[in-house]
Structure 1
Amino acid sequence: MDAMMSASREFFRQPSEEKQKCSNLIDGGGKHSEVEGYGNDEVVNQAEGLSWNDRLHLRVEPEDERNFTKWPAHPKSFRLLEYASRTKRIRDLVFRSIAKLLDLDEDYFLNQISSKDPGFARFNYYPPCPRPDLVLGMRPHSDAGLLTILFVDHDVGGLQVERDGRWYNVPAKPYSLVINLADCMEIMCNGIFRSPVHRVVTNAERERLSLAVFYAVDGETVLEPAPGLLDDERPARYGKFKAKDFGLSFD
């Protein structure tokens, strides 16, 4: 974990021309971008503004779809493959734990996913912001996929979660991982576990780094509440549909 945070800090502190070697832009004019690579999030709605961050977004799953042309050559300590293999083990442990809590077969959720399901690592850099009251590090949203495993800076907070119209700070604790269930898992859990809306606020004086690993579903995956969670008193809160039809995948 120390190595990943150090490598992340070293990458974002490089000169712009070095970081642009991993750029996510796909045309010379800079008007079009792709998910993978270094850059900023695309502004979908001008009224929402631009999130105050730089990011490096890399596919880690499936293994045969990794685009190493987007992976940085520097720093040499960039050990994402090892880190991602360990977070995948955590993902499986969380899936089994949730299944047991819901009195489902322990492997129920693992049996719903496939080797085609995408996984992405996103390195986030939030520079100090002179007017933190005017801009967010990341706008309010919920994650679209299955599960997010977030590793945050040791002592710089910023992540907030919304509940009942109020925002609550998520403490930044050394060597801790924040586990966030996402939209597809909420559907499969029939809403028993929720996909929380969250955001990142900026800091006027200090930079902040985080590393999120997102596990999603293939666009052809059929999503529906687990049958074992349904009965006359607890009907399905969601229909049955392919993930791509509702934009709940990273494909």
Structure 2
Amino acid sequence: MAPTSLKPVQELLQSGYVPETYIQKLEDDGPVPLMDSPIIDFSLLSSSNPEELKKLCSALSSWGCFQLVNHGIKSELLDEIREMSKQFFKLPLEEKEKYSSKGDSLEGYGNDNAIRRGNFNWNDKLHLQVFPHCKRQLQYWPEKPQIFRETLHDYSIKTELVTNVLLKAMSRSLKLEENRFFELWGDDKEDIIHARFNFYPRCPSSNQVVGLKAHTDGSAITILLQDKEIEGLQVLKDGQWFRVPIIPEALVIHVGDQLEIASNGIFKSPIHKVVINPQCDRISLAMLPLPNPEKEIGPLKELITEDRPQLYKRLKDYGQVYFKYMASEERQINVVKINN
């Protein structure tokens, strides 16, 4: 039997108290304002609208994230994904445990607390690799609800298309040839996309737990589908936390560490966290495009100048660095910084 601290968070709630390993010392800084990062229109990016590209560059270099609308994914599919996520996490524990993570595998059902030091996240997850198709480990893909596999397949294809257009638009926003970022992550035979379903159970001690501690993402970018009703995501900017508002049809796009590296620090990988609601469960789905670990990632040569010298080392398999330093108080990306 798993130690209490490593049980799914949902199951801990049955006991009626929060284990000490989850209790955090949280500072109350008063009300958290809403962020005012730009909303980007995907249809205008596709047509290379210069004003939208300028807005995109500004959002990525200041906030590191934005809300994407008119992305072409039907609201019915977004709602279906949200509903099937809720249905999966509502299944009996013995059904969900058929898909439990094994050994050091990222994939499967459970939580990440076994690889963390310090206090734990109030979060359960289902983590699946969706690209390339030949690398899918279907033993971790739930058969209940029945629509799960087909719906995730459809959604992953749609978000891959969104990723490809975004990476090209991000290149153009920096006045680069449009395939410069796409070359790093655009090969669907090699490159990887993970899907991470997050479940944040309600908690009566919500002011003492954190859904996900402050962190950046180790991906190229992150495409996040938020809960349609329950807020929880917060982003740090200039030392101040901001709430990310819910726009039901929008996708939240984050710069990941690997895009910050490739852009030589022009685009910012934002520090973000998830807070817990005392009365309502919350779900989200993050799609995480990653380069093949054998590809060398580093600042693009066009973005290295006298005014902006090379800020980061070139390296393969940033994921190894990211997980090795996950428990550190510092951002993992600092490990690959060059001290100019």
TM range (shorter): over 0.9
Give the structure with the higher percent helix: 2
Residue in structure 2 matched with residue 106 of structure 1 by the alignment: 178
Residue in structure 2 matched with residue 15 of structure 1 by the alignment: 92
Q: 1:244 to 1:162 in 2, by over 3 A?
A: closer
2: CA distance, partners of 1:200 / 1:63: 30
1:167-211 Cα offsets, whole Å, 9 max, x none, are 110011112100011000001101111101111000100110101
1:195-236 Cα offsets, whole Å, 9 max, x none, are 011110001001101011001122222111111112222211
2: CA distance, partners of 1:248 / 1:102: 26
Given that residues 113 and 121 in structure 2 are in contact (C-alpha distance below 8 angstroms), is that contact kept between their aligned partners in structure 1?
no
Q: Which of 94, 97, 111 matches 1:40?
A: 111
Unpaired runs of at least 5, structure 2: 1-77, 325-340
Residue in structure 1 matched with residue 82 of structure 2 by the alignment: 5
Residue in structure 1 matched with residue 145 of structure 2 by the alignment: 75
Please list, as runs of the form range in 1=range in 2, the aligned pairs for 1:26-175 lying within 5 A after superposition: 26=102, 32-47=103-118, 49-78=119-148, 79-113=151-185, 114=187, 115-175=189-249
2: CA distance, partners of 1:245 / 1:64: 20
Residue in structure 2 matched with residue 240 of structure 1 by the alignment: 314
2: CA distance, partners of 1:249 / 1:191: 21
Given that residues 198 and 283 in structure 2 are in contact (C-alpha distance below 8 angstroms), is that contact kept between their aligned partners in structure 1?
yes
2: CA distance, partners of 1:37 / 1:93: 29
Aligned residue type for 2:88: F
Aligned residue type for 1:11: F
1: CA distance, partners of 2:196 / 2:82: 12
Q: 1:249 to 1:126 in 2, by over 3 A?
A: closer
Q: TM-score scaled by structure 1?
A: 0.92
CA drift of 1:248 comes to 4.8
Q: TM-score scaled by structure 2?
A: 0.69
Larger Rg: 2
Q: SS where residue 212 of structure 1 aligns?
A: strand
1:28-69 Cα offsets, whole Å, 9 max, x none, are xxxx4521001011343442x111111110100111000001
What percentage of aligned pairs have identical amino acids? 37
Given that residues 220 and 244 in structure 1 are in contact (C-alpha distance below 8 angstroms), is that contact kept between their aligned partners in structure 2?
no
2: CA distance, partners of 1:244 / 1:150: 21
Q: SS where residue 211 of structure 2 aligns?
A: strand
Q: 1:219 to 1:168 in 2, by over 3 A?
A: same
Which has the larger displacement, 179-188 or 157-166?
157-166
Aligned residue type for 1:87: T
Q: SS where residue 195 of structure 1 aligns?
A: coil
Q: SS where residue 82 of structure 2 aligns?
A: helix
Unpaired runs of at least 5, structure 1: 27-31
Q: 1:139 to 1:105 in 2, by over 3 A?
A: same
Aligned residue type for 1:153: D
2: CA distance, partners of 1:174 / 1:244: 33
Given that residues 142 and 198 in structure 1 are in contact (C-alpha distance below 8 angstroms), is that contact kept between their aligned partners in structure 2?
yes
Residue in structure 2 matched with residue 201 of structure 1 by the alignment: 275
Residue in structure 1 matched with residue 21 of structure 2 by the alignment: none
Q: 1:136 to 1:245 in 2, by over 3 A?
A: closer
1:119-149 Cα offsets, whole Å, 9 max, x none, are 1101111110111111101111100120110
Which has the larger displacement, 63-72 or 104-113?
104-113
Q: SS where residue 136 of structure 1 aligns?
A: coil
Given that residues 161 and 198 in structure 1 are in contact (C-alpha distance below 8 angstroms), is that contact kept between their aligned partners in structure 2?
yes
2: CA distance, partners of 1:62 / 1:13: 29
RMSD: 1.7
Given that residues 43 and 50 in structure 1 are in contact (C-alpha distance below 8 angstroms), is that contact kept between their aligned partners in structure 2?
no
Aligned residue type for 1:92: N
